[in-house]
Amino acid sequence: MKRDLITLLDYSSAEVLSLIDSADKLKKENGSTGSPRGGTVRGDLKGKSVALVFQKPSNRTRVSFEVGVHELGGYCLYLGPDEINLGKRESTHDVAKTLSRYVHCIVARVFDNKDIVQLAQYADVPVINALCDLYHPCQALADIQTIREKFGKFQSLTLAYVGDGNNVFHSLMVACAKVGINVRFAGPKGYDPNPAILKQTQGVARTNGCTIECSRDPQWAVKGAHVIYADVWVSMGQEKETAKRIKQFKGYQINTDLVKQAQKDYIFMHCLPAHRGLEVTADVIDGKHSVIFNQAENRLHVQKAVLLYLLS
């Protein structure tokens, strides 16, 4: 039976760990790290094509998938909102069935989680979630790869996420729960994580000996934390709420004052794109604790690991 990657909740801890191990190997073999990077081309995906169906803009996800497929010897085609227009120009069912006759894998960035679930249901080829309103699993895999690179382990670490309980946070807490990282969330009222996803993830965390805790207090969240994580206050598609959100998230900014509470060797993480002066100050995101471009680079390696896992 074909496998998809919609949410890491569908993956076992062993699968998640093996993806990270595979990503580390691919990174080493690729002659990375940093810039300029290596670029070994393997033949695993020779003769295989991957479609990127994107309903929203992207820098990291699009570029890392396109380059990743190239480096695995496959062919990648980008289909932006104007080409596919999922569910509007054509039903999701017909898009899934048609693309399954042309390509070996569909990577999709959509607004509504239901669209990616339906794509996976109707497609005869693996579907990878490149971000929806509920999840961003590829980001979370790159994030935990980065955390292990920095600390050499997952156990006995605490990650503090300050801000919106959104797609990035959902996938991040699931990934952490799978590998045993403690998570503390702090955000304003009205922006808590989805209660069903939280409950399920807390169950996963219990099995793996870690905790997922939520509060309104950013000071509590970052106290003694090894990792401090931020995402934008206004996600793609929420632009009309910008003024309201900026007002409500005030007090949840990561700044020099707040990070004083963290471990001395803490790392600052952000999935990017970032807004300096809003969710994080420039001195923190551009400072020596920041690992944002390692995270961005690891998208490439971990997505190659996902493609190899699902396609070979």
Q: What is the distance between the alpha carbons of residues 290 and 18, in angstroms, rounded to a whole number? A: 26
Q: Which of 76, 231, 245, 253 is catalytic?
A: 231
Give residues with Cβ within 8 angstroms of 239, minimum separation 6.
Answer: none
- Stretch of residues binding ligand NVA (CB under 6 A), selected from 28-36, 83-91, 163-171, 203-211: 163-171
Among candidate residues 104, 136, 245, 270, the one labeled active-site is 136
Across the strands, what pairs with 184? Answer: 160, 213
Give the nearest distance from C-beta 257 to ligand CP in angstroms. Answer: 26
Catalytic: which of 271, 289, 301, 303?
A: 271
Binds 174: which of ligand NVA, ligand CP, none (CB < 5-8 Å by kind): none
Near ligand NVA by CB under 6 A, which window of 115-123, 154-162, 228-236, 291-299?
Answer: 228-236
Distance CA(95)–CA(119), nearest Å, equals: 8
Q: Using the rule CB under 6 A, is 63 a contact of ligand NVA?
A: no
- Does 231 qualify as catalytic in the annotation? yes
Instruction: Give the x/- contact pattern for ligand NVA in 233-262, rule: CB under 6 A.
Output: --xx--------------------------
CA distance 226 to 246: 27
Nearest one of 174, 149, 203 to 20, comparing CA atoms: 149
Residues of span 267-286 touching ligand NVA by CB under 6 A: 271
To the nearest whole angstrom, how small is the minimum distance from the Cβ of residue 61 to ligand NVA? 7
155 is known as an active-site residue: no
Contact with ligand NVA (CB under 6 A) among 22, 167, 290, 294: 167
- The C-alpha atoms of residue 186 and residue 169 are separated, in whole angstroms, by 11
Cα distances from 17 to residues 90, 144, 148, in angstroms, run: 38, 10, 11
Look at residue 59 and give the partner it binds from ligand CP, ligand NVA, none, a contact being a CB closer than 5 to 8 Å depending on partner kind. ligand CP
Question: Token digits for 111?
Answer: 């607004």
Closest CA to 173 of 197, 206, 149, 153: 197
121 assigned to active site: no
Whether 210 contacts 182, CB under 8 Å: yes
- Among 166, 171, 194, 303, the residue binding ligand NVA under the rule CB under 6 A is 166
Where does this chain bind ligand CP (CB under 6 A)?
58-61, 131, 139, 271-273
Given the residues 118, 139, 263, 303, the one annotated as active site: 139
Neighbouring-strand partners of residue 213: 184
Residues 124-143 that bind ligand NVA (CB under 6 A): 131
Tokens of 220: 């509590």
Sheet holding 105-109, edge to edge: 75-79, 49-54, 105-109, 127-129
The contact set with ligand NVA (CB under 6 A) reads 131, 166-168, 231-232, 235-236, 271
Catalytic (active-site) positions? 109, 136, 139, 231, 271, 299
